[in-house]
Structure formats: structure tokens, C-alpha cells
Amino acid sequence: MRRVTGGLVNPSPGRSELARRAAIAAVQRSLSGPRTIVVLNPKGGAHKTTATLLIAATFGIHRGGYTLAWDNNETMGTLGVRAQGAQHTNTAVDLLRDLEDFAYSTSARVGDLDKYVRNQGDARFDALASDLDPAGAASIDDVAFGKLHAALSRFYRILIIDTGNNMRASNWEAAVETADQLVVVSTIREDTAYGAASLLDGLRLKGHGDKVAQAVTVLASPAKTADRALSARLHDHFSQLTRTVVDVPYDPALVAGGPLNIDALAPRTREAWLYATAAIAEGL
């Protein structure tokens, strides 16, 4: 319109464009140091791993690199299955074994981590898998988590941590202790929502009331059409417990549970996760 009219008509951006620009600006905001985001729900199938990867992808796409999605399951998690593969099969257990090469070396560089993390291509973030050996005896406890977190915080600006389902595991509790921002994820279902609500009650009893009050709740639609009455009830409940509640839609590209392909997602899905990530970034 500007070109056709020689600049006589200069349309302003619309409301949706302004909202999108504000969301991107929030995601790109300057930080005073490395930040840790912890994704939680004690129930399996609550969308935690999907959320971890999509939050990391959104930060990676809009901020650039130095973003890590980390599976902090004490034994076997699924982030390694959902992330794009690499030429190696190393996990957090292998990194922990070799950690002294990074923790105490002044010459260590982020590129030295390439044999442990998995580059996620155009999504521009790395993924660190938990142990994938079903017969393995290795596990990550709070001490191991602390060592890994201290080392990885040297190389990444933003760490998004996927947690297991055991709220009593020491590495689960250690992740919450390090969190700059908690993200509570639930599908719009009674069972996963109950798990999320119980989680928040437990965190307050453990002395994390301030973190709960500043948490972000992400409600994910489990089907093309969600139960509107239940959605409204969950919005009302979690908005009283956490800082904000955001919605993300059902997307058939996520149903199969295979490696995340960000380009396969519908535009409305990517847009929703941009707004969700912006809400998370505002707490950093």
C-alpha cells in the first residue's frame, strides 16, 4: 500500500501484529545471567516433554543459540526420543562421568559439549537426554544434578528442564531449588489437572510459595475440541494459584510422539507457544 500510493497511505500494524511483536520482544529480553526454567507435573502424559521442547525451540528461534532442553529424569525419560537425533547416543550420565573436563577447565568451550548434547537444527537449541539404557543402573541424584547444573550454566543462557514424575526424587527437588521460573503443564483433563494442583499444594508446603505464585500454567488441549466447561474451571482455579494461565492448541503433528519437527506444526500452534514462552520469559 505504501509503494502503490507513494507513501500517501501508511497503514499501521494491527492489534495482532503488535501483540506478536510484544511477545517476541519479551522472549528476546536481556537477562542478567543464565536462567533456569523447570517444567513440572507429577503425572505422566501431561505434555511436559512436549512443552520443554517447544519452549526451548521458541527461545532458540527468537533468541539464537545457547538454549538447552535437559531431561532431568532420575532414570529413563523420553526427551531423548522426542528430540532430533545425533551421531552419538551419549546422555546426561555420560556427561556426568566426564564432567571434570568441563567443570574445572578454563579452556572448555560450548562446542566441547557436542558429543553429549543433540543439536536441534533450525530450532537452534540443544537437547540433553537422560539415560536411555533400560538395563542401566545409573541414576541422577541431587548432587549429580547440582554438578551438571553448575557446569551447564557456564555454557547456556537458558536451561529448560524437563522433570520426571517423582516429586520425592532428590534431583526433582534440586531442580525446583534452582528454578528461576516454574512452568506447570497440564492437558485439559481431570487427572492431569489434579496432578498439577496437587503439585502446587506440595510445593507451597515445602516452602516454595513465592515460586508457585510466580509460576506459569500451560493448559494444552488433548483433542481438536476441548471440554469448554472444564477449561474454564481450570483457568479459574490455576489463575488463583499461579501468575498467569496460557492455552496451547491440539496439533496432529505432535500426536505420534516422535522427534519434534517444528516446521510440521500449524502456524496457530507456533503462535500459541510464542505467547506461552513470552509469559515465561517475563518471569526471568
pTM: 0.92
Q: Please measure the distance between the N-terminal and C-terminal CA atoms of the chain and give it in whole angstroms.
A: 39
Written as nine digits, the cell of 122 is 533450525
Specify the pLDDT at position 273. 97
Q: Please report, for the chain, the start and end positions of each structural domain, with discontinuous segments joined by +.
A: 32-281
CATH class of the domain whose range is 32-281:
alpha beta
What one-character DSSP code corresponds to residue 263? G
Specify the pLDDT at position 269. 96
| Helix, strand or coil, per DSSP, at residue 68 | strand
Specify the pLDDT at position 223. 87
Q: What is the pLDDT along the chain (284 residues), one digit of tens a residue?
A: 777 777 666 777 778 889 999 999 999 999 999 999 999 999 888 899 999 999 999 999 999 879 999 999 877 788 888 988 888 889 999 999 998 877 667 777 888 899 999 999 999 999 999 987 665 556 789 999 999 999 999 999 999 999 988 888 999 999 999 999 999 999 999 999 999 999 999 999 999 999 999 999 999 998 888 889 999 999 999 999 999 999 999 999 998 888 889 999 999 999 999 999 999 999 99
Specify the pLDDT at position 138. 64
Half-sphere exposure of residue 178: CA atoms within 13 angstroms, side-chain side: 27
Distance between CA atoms of residues 75 and 140, nearest Å: 7
Q: What backbone phi and psi angles, to 5 degrees, belong to 10?
A: -130, 80
